[in-house]
């Protein structure tokens, strides 16, 4: 375990003005709180918080963050409380420790619904103070280093959670080194054989070709000296997991994999970055399509660097990153550079991103009303993105993830532009909306008044912002359609009894039904959550008394059943009183009643012992027998309302209505109508057939809807 003097020495390396007394007090307090606790490895538990604090000194973080690391498990695992920590170390530290404790309690690898909810809580904690997640990342980093002491199943759970959540999050925050290390440690647990095979190939390759990294580094230094550029050059082989991922993505073996070596050129000035690029391209041939200038177009987390891939010594492809020392600090620590200290003062790094602005870019466009699942999908998309830079016709830069389409571009500009998008021009040429955008392209979005998002756009868009906006628009459009349909149904029902569906009447009905407002009630009516009779009965309960009271009990409408035997109508043929019927016994569940001509009965020809001879009771049956009608009507104003009125005039209730097909000249819809008997059905169909705007009407019978009952 690192001694307190050694920890203070690590802090003094970058912050000579550190509050040594505060660090010692936190160290002693944490050690005392954890004194009787041990890790799975048998080490004193306090060795873990100290190791986390030491990791954070590598990012040159402030005293409050280091103290938080030393105390981050005290509120959760010891007798210490928030108030005790606040009293001893101040509210800032107490809030940070409390934030880390809450993150530790979030089960980010739990079920999808719970994971989505916890992801929102994670980002809420980050938005309050990003240092909370910096401590949590260091905590996870040390846990992965010492994961062998855990049970195998726990190792797999933690490794998968690290690979899916914490490593991408570190990368999105610009902490690429930590991301690569977290991925590789998780890879070692999840696929030890795969990692070993990569390591063996590296060793074999080094034996065959010698120390390639040292040779290429020497070549680069020589070329830079010739060009008069002062710079440090570092080279390394890529991490095993990075190599493995490339092999999987490109579906190629290790022997055909290129650019498995990476080199960094660190200069003193931005001007030297471009001079170094020129010297490298002059000496080695650049690989087309592998150049990215993140200096002129930085990433949202502050990352700036020039990336190029060249054919180096012996034709081997190598990736080169060129940046200044200040850019390198941000590249190594990402958003954490905002809190970095040097020589006792906060480093004013012009490339460090304001954490508040960064978190807003990640969660932008996701409101509190978005469901947790959408938030999870959107944030994961944002974390895994690899950026592209495109331009508006005016030259403004729009940052998008890899694979983005013109739809993503439109929503990145403004939700209103996205919703009204009907087409796009890329570099002056009209392209489909599903086209994938490339770096440097100019995109002109074509809009039209009245255009609305299409459901197919969800499969085209890749950004969380676009997907979230499209879903909101589709929900609003569905609601608008249901409100219009509900209004037509209400108007028809009211006219049928000689009443008017005024706003006041509908407001009163909504209140009686305990629904928030008139529009919500109409939306529910249009979506068949409530019926028009429910609305009428709320205002005029006396209308619920039928002229001809049924004298047949709906529960005993069928003759031929055994005593205590129940029945249900088959949905495949929907028989109604007056039609010839037969029953098929369900195994231990009663009888399913079919029309005698139902196609499903052929399934039971060889099972005659299940057949039951049935017939309907004579007399007046209740209007409770639903029948589905397939109706094609002309697409003109008022037609749907007239259809609903006609059905209501025949004393039939509409229980459901769905549009099957929409064309410019006609609509095809299915209407579920509640009827009393076959004669009632005949009157309804006859009335509809007589309507000039009804092109076709037929009774809908579907054998597949009845087979699951047997």
Q: Among candidates 281, 325, 282, 332, which has minimal Cα distance to 307?
A: 281
- The Cα–Cα gap between 242 and 250 comes to 12
Contacts for 176 with CB less than 8 Å, ≥ 6 apart: 170, 303, 331, 332, 334
Place of tokens 């609903």: 644
Is 161 assigned a catalytic role? no
Place of tokens 């938030």: 375
Q: Which two tokens stand for residue 396?
A: 């403004």
What residue spans of 549-677 are helical by DSSP H?
A: 639-649
Q: Are 243 and 260 in contact (CB under 8 A)?
A: yes
Q: Are 405 and 460 in contact (CB under 8 A)?
A: yes
Longest CA–CA span in the chain (Å) reads 107
Q: Helix count (H) and strand count (E) of the chain?
A: 29, 23
- The Cα–Cα gap between 233 and 92 comes to 41
Q: Which two tokens stand for residue 44?
A: 């004193």
Q: Which of 58, 76, 691, 702 is catalytic?
A: 76
Q: At what angle do helices 131-145 and 47-57 cross, to 10 degrees?
A: 120
Q: Are 689 and 629 in contact (CB under 8 A)?
A: no
Q: Among candidates 241, 52, 54, 77, which has minimal Cα distance to 137?
A: 52
Q: Virtual CA dihedral for 264, 269, 273, 278, nearest 10 degrees? A: -130
E strand or H helix at 421: strand 421-426
SS3 566: coil
Q: Are 135 and 53 in contact (CB under 8 A)?
A: no
| C-alpha dist (Å) from residue 123 to 90, 358, 526 | 24, 12, 38
Q: Looking at beta carbons, which pairs linking 162-169 to residues 24 or more positions away fall under 8 Å?
A: 162/186, 163/187, 163/190, 164/109, 165/108, 165/109, 166/136, 166/137, 166/140, 168/380, 168/383, 168/384, 169/133, 169/137, 169/383
| C-alpha dist (Å) from residue 344 to 14, 96, 130, 371 | 7, 22, 21, 45
Contacts for 91 with CB less than 8 Å, ≥ 6 apart: none
Length of the chain, in residues: 710
Q: Among candidates 210, 472, 468, 34, which has minimal Cα distance to 52?
A: 34
Burial class (CB in 10 A: 0-12, 13-18, 19+), 355: buried
- The Cα–Cα gap between 623 and 617 comes to 14
Q: Which two tokens stand for residue 64?
A: 């409050």
Query: What does residue 444 show for φ and ψ, rounded to 5 degrees?
Result: -115, 115
Among left, alpha and beta (phi > 0; psi -120 to 50; other), residue 368 is alpha
- The Cα–Cα gap between 544 and 533 comes to 8
Q: Which of 77, 332, 520, 656 is catalytic?
A: 77
Is 63 assigned a catalytic role? no
| β-pair type (387-391, 397-401) | antiparallel
Q: Among candidates 612, 608, 607, which has minimal Cα distance to 584?
A: 612
- The Cα–Cα gap between 267 and 295 comes to 13
Rg of the chain, C-alpha, whole Å: 35
What residue spans of 384-463 are helical by DSSP H?
A: 406-413, 415-419, 457-460
Q: At what angle do helices 20-33 and 47-57 cross, to 10 degrees?
A: 150
What are the catalytic residues? 76-77
């Amino acid at each position: 375990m690192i001694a307190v003097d050694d920890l203070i020495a690590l802090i003094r390396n970058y912050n000579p003005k550190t509050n040594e007394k505060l660090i010692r007090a936190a160290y002693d307090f944490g050690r005392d709180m954890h004194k009787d606790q041990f890790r799975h490895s048998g080490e004193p538990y306090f060795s873990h918080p100290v190791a986390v604090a030491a990791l954070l000194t590598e990012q040159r973080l402030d005293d409050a963050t280091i103290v938080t690391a030393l105390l981050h498990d005290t509120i959760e695992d010891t007798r210490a409380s928030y108030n005790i920590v606040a009293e001893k170390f101040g509210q800032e530290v107490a809030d940070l420790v409390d934030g880390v404790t809450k993150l530790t309690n979030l089960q980010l690898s739990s079920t999808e619904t719970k994971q989505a909810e916890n992801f929102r809580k994670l980002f809420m904690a980050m938005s309050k103070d990003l240092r909370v997640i910096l401590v949590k990342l260091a905590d996870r980093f040390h846990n992965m280093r010492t994961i062998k002491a855990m049970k195998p199943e726990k190792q797999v759970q933690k490794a998968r959670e690290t690979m899916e959540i914490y490593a991408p999050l570190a990368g999105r925050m610009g902490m690429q080194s930590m991301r690569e290390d977290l991925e590789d440690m998780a890879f070692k647990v999840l696929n030890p054989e795969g990692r070993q095979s990569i390591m063996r190939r590296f060793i074999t390759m080094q034996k065959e070709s010698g120390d390639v990294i040292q040779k290429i580094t020497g070549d680069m230094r020589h070329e830079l000296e010739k060009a008069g550029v002062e710079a440090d050059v570092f080279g390394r082989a890529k991490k095993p997991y990075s190599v493995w991922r490339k092999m999987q993505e490109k579906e190629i073996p290790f022997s055909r994999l290129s650019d498995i070596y990476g080199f960094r050129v660190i200069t003193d000035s931005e001007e030297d970055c471009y001079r170094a690029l020129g010297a490298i391209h002059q000496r080695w041939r650049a690989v087309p399509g592998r150049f990215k200038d993140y200096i002129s177009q930085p990433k949202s987390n502050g990352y700036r660097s020039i990336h190029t891939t060249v054919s180096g010594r012996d034709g081997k492809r190598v990736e080169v990153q060129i940046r200044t020392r200040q850019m390198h600090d941000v590249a190594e620590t990402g958003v954490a550079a905002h809190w970095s200290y040097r020589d006792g003062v906060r480093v004013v790094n012009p490339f460090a991103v304001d954490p508040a602005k960064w978190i807003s870019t990640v969660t932008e466009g996701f409101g509190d009303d978005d469901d947790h699942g959408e938030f999870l999908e959107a944030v994961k998309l944002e974390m895994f993105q690899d950026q592209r830079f495109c331009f508006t016709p005016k030259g403004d830069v729009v940052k998008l993830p890899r694979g983005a389409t013109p739809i993503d571009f439109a929503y990145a500009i403004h939700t209103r532009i996205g919703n009204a998008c009907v087409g796009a021009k890329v570099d002056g040429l009209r392209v489909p909306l599903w086209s994938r955008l490339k770096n440097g392209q100019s995109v002109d979005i074509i809009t039209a008044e009245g255009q609305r998002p299409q459901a197919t756009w969800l499969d085209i868009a890749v950004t969380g912002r676009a997907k979230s906006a499209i879903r909101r628009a589709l929900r609003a459009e569905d609601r608008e359609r249901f409100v219009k349909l509900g209004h037509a149904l209400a108007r028809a029902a009211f006219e049928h009894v000689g009443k008017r569906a005024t706003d006041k009447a509908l407001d009163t009905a909504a209140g009686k039904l305990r629904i928030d407002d008139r529009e919500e009630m109409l939306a529910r009516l249009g979506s068949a959550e409530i019926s028009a009779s429910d609305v009428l009965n709320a205002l005029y309960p006396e209308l619920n008394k039928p002229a001809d009271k049924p004298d047949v009990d709906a529960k005993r409408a069928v003759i031929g059943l055994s005593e205590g035997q129940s029945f249900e109508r088959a949905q495949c043929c929907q028989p109604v009183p007056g039609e010839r019927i037969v029953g098929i016994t369900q195994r231990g569940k009663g009888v399913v009643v079919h029309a005698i001509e139902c196609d499903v009965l052929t399934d039971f020809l060889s099972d005659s012992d299940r057949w039951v001879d049935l017939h309907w009771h004579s007399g007046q049956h209740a209007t409770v027998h639903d029948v589905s009608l397939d109706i094609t009507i002309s697409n003109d104003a008022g037609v749907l309302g007239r259809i609903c009125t006609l059905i209501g005039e025949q004393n039939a209730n509409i229980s459901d209505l769905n549009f099957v097909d929409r064309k410019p000249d006609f609509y095809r819809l299915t209407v579920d109508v509640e009827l009393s008997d076959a004669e009632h059905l005949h009157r309804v169909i006859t009335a509809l057939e007589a309507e000039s705007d009804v092109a076709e009407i037929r009774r809908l019978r579907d054998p597949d809807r009845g087979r699951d009952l047997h």
